[in-house]
Amino acid sequence: MADNNAGEETIFSKIIRQEIPTPLLFQDDLVTAFRDITPQASSHILIIPNKLIPTVNDIKQEDELTMGRMFTVAKQLAQAEGIAEDGYRLIMNCNQHGGQEVYHIHMHLVGGQPLGRMLNPK
């Protein structure tokens, strides 16, 4: 997918507005959560800000409440998934080297199985 640092809307904005119907696991005034379409573990959830922020590089001080809410929701969803005690991983990819494909920041919550080393050795 092409780099979208210009800040154009992505498919995630349509999911937030439910223009593309996707079952939501959580939504409030700041964040939305739903299951990843291509899960890479038995639990794979995306937690995203309702506001379009293209990359982690674009986060502003005024977004700190939203960033904190993303973590609070991640914790709650991990508990709801039953994976909190065994553990899980939170991932945010940034730009090309980070492997970011959708330019609307999102936190991956992955777990439900041992995840191995953090990075694949080359």
Four-residue CA torsion sign, 86, 35, 66, 55: positive
Least Å from the CB of residue 46 to ligand DGP = 6
User: End-to-end distance of the chain based on CA atoms, in angstroms?
Assistant: 23
Only one residue has tokens 């920041």, namely 105
Footprint of ligand DGP on this chain (CB under 6 A)?
Answer: 11, 22, 34-38, 46, 93, 99-102
State yes or no: is 106 an active-site residue. yes
Q: Which is nearer to ligand DGP, 12 or 61 (CB)?
A: 12
Q: Which is nearer to ligand DGP, 62 or 102 (CB)?
A: 102
What CA–CA distance (Å, rounded) separates 1 from 57?
Answer: 18
Annotated catalytic residue, options 44, 104, 106, 108: 106
